[in-house]
Amino acid sequence: MLFDISPNITPWNGMEDALGCYLDSLRAVRGLPARLALPGHRRPGTLAPRVDALLEHHARRLDELTAILRARPGSTAYEAAAHMTWNIRSRSWDDFPLAQKWFAVGECIAHLDHLRRQGRLQREQQDGVWHAWAL
């Protein structure tokens, strides 16, 4: 756990809901009696408030993605990611560095997977590409 940036959560082979696993892990850590966390790099911090902030961050992300899918039904992960809020110094999605787009689309896919597991979206494959609709 880092205290000044949020980790990039992306799908992993064999894991249906990487974001769900991450959120479960945060909740488990939240219940530990530790107050101070000493990460492997960057600065230390107070555990419970950071866990709460990360849980809230992902709840907002899931709501944002649901709103995007309502406004743009049938979006691909790439299309949805282009409309999400990112903390990157670029004027627009088109100006994002390619590596940042890769991370953003991966994180969007993890959030789409989680929404699907929650029953909040439907997806359909068309010509080998997944499209999503908010329910």
pLDDT, tens digit (0-9, with 9 covering 90-100), for 43-94: 899 999 999 999 999 999 999 999 999 999 999 999 999 999 998 888 899 9
Q: What is the DSSP letter of 31?
A: T
Q: pTM score, two decimals?
A: 0.93
CA distance linking residue 77 with residue 92, whole number of Å: 17
Q: Which one is predicted more confidently, 134 or 15? A: 134
Nearest to 46 by CA among 106, 4, 83: 4
pLDDT band at 42 (very low <50, low <70, confident <90, very high): confident
Task: Enumerate domains of the chain plus CATH numbers.
Answer: 18-134 (1.10.10.10)
Q: Which one is predicted more confidently, 43 or 21? A: 21
Amino acid identity, position 48: A
The pLDDT assigned to 53 comes to 96
